[in-house]
Amino acid sequence: MGETLGLYRAFDATAFAESLYARVQETVERGLLEELLCITDDDVYAAVTGVVDLPDRMARNLTRSFVQQGGRLPDKQRKQFPELTDAEIPAMTAAMAHLFSAQKTPGDAG
């Protein structure tokens, strides 16, 4: 019986439990907050279409451009949207700045 005693003993899982707890805590404190603050394409699309009424395809392309450029529309990409007036671009950029600044400052009520 003494030879098989080690087969029936419980192992010490303290290190595993502590590691698991640390990962769960990190996920809750950082990962979930980042997910909650994540700007979705739908948020940007709503901001774009809130400024000007565009065909869906053009609005989606413009949305993609704003997301890829962090809320800005460089001159090179601006030329891809000749239908937009010079007054509409700053209005959209201001809407993007509001979205992207809200993402960076979680304490901001908006």
Q: What is the pLDDT of residues 23-78, one digit of tens each?
A: 999 888 887 767 766 777 788 888 888 888 888 888 888 888 888 887 888 888 88
Contact between 73 and 65 (Cβ < 8 Å): yes
Longest dimension (CA), the chain: 87
Cα distances (Å, whole numbers) of residue 13 to 16, 18, 45: 5, 9, 49
Kindly write down the DSSP assignment for every residue of 37-56, as one continuous string: HPPPHHHHHHHHHHHS---H
Higher pLDDT, 91 or 35: 91
- The pTM for the full model equals 0.54
